[in-house]
Amino acid sequence: MLEFRTRTAFISAVVFTALVLTVFNFGRDPTAVPTIDLAPSILWVTFTFAAMLGLNRAFQLELENDALDALLVSPISPTSLYLAKLVANCVFVGVVECVGLPLFVLFFNVPVWTILAPLIGVIALATVGFVAVGTLFSAMVIRTRFAELMLPVLLLPFLIPLVMAAAQVTAALFAGRPLSEVAWWLRLLAAYDIVFLWLATVLFPTTVNE
């Protein structure tokens, strides 16, 4: 509700997404590299950095007026707080992706209609993993002096396997190859989500408590 009311992070992320896709579209030479080969990387670079903008603000609203302290004093467990933030951040990133994907299709003319369901599935899997780790790190850096710098520095290395897997599966989908060819990458995505969701849930209380 707060993000809907302020719309600061949402507008930033959407504008960033549109800008990045525009730059990639006009900055490439379509005769040098086929669009279909570049498209998965462009999609995932765009989504990764757009989502980072949102995650930078994940706990900003709680830091204003120190609402986070009051949340930690309240009867809700830190685990419940984490899961609530996870869901909220997934919704935020999901909405940005819903805006970004049609723009991506428009700019790069990638035929997604026949692969829409599996593509959304991959995006959803990757988003959950991204947000699970991003929410934890966002809580870790929130009280540091250079939070907006620290988050990408800490988060990006952890996202490498996730983004690699998502890009590989997306490339297979765009090329019309069967998912069985990228089953290993799909399993990596699922395993990443399970492992890091569990780890983040376990580590979050230690992160926010003094």
Partner 1 sequence: MLRAEGLRHTFGSVRALDGISFTLSAGQTLVLFGPNGSGKTTLLRVLAGLIRPLEGHAEVAGGRRAVGWIGHQSHLYAHLTVRENLLFWAALYGVPAARREARADELLRRLGVADRAGVPVRVLSRGLTQRVTIARALMHDPKVLLLDEPFTGLDLAAAAQFRALLAELTGAGRIVVLATHNVDEGVELATDVAFQARGRFVHFAPRGARGAGEIADAYRLAVAGD
Helices (H) and strands (E) in the chain, counts: 9, 0
Q: Which stretch binds partner 1 (CB under 8 A): 20-28, 70-78, 85-93, 175-183?
A: 70-78
- Interface with partner 1, residue 87, by CB under 8 A: no
Span 9-68, contacts to partner 1 by CB under 8 A: 61, 64-67
Give the C-alpha separation, 201 to 196, whole Å: 8
209 is a site residue for partner 1 (CB under 8 A): yes
Which of 15, 23, 33, 76 contacts partner 1 by CB under 8 A?
Answer: 76
Distance of closest approach, residue 209 Cβ to partner 1, in angstroms: 7
Q: How far apart are CA 14 and CA 189, in angstroms?
A: 25
Whole-angstrom Cα Rg for the chain = 18
| Least gap, CB of 98 to partner 1 (angstroms) | 24
Tell me the two tokens of residue 12: 């930033």
The secondary structure of 70-136 as a DSSP string is HHHHSSS-HHHHHHHHHHHHHHHHHHHHHHHHHHHHHHH----GGGHHHHHHHHHHHHHHHHHHHHH
Size of the site for partner 1 (CB under 8 A): 19
User: Applying CB under 8 A, does 5 fall inside the site for partner 1?
Assistant: yes
State which residue, 29 or 210, has the beta carbon closest to partner 1. 210
Considering only the stretches 71-79, 95-103, 115-123, 148-156, report the one whose residues sit in contact with partner 1 under the rule CB under 8 A. Answer: 71-79
Query: Is residue 74 part of the contact set for partner 1 (CB under 8 A)?
Result: yes
- Counting contacts by CB under 8 A, is residue 150 touching partner 1? no
Instruction: Find, among 201, 210, 123, the residue nearest to 162 by Cα.
Output: 123
Q: What count of Cα atoms within 13 Å lies in the side-chain half-sphere of residue 60?
A: 15
Of 45 and 61, CB closest to partner 1: 61
Residues making contact with partner 1 (CB under 8 A): 1-2, 5-6, 61, 64-67, 69-76, 209-210
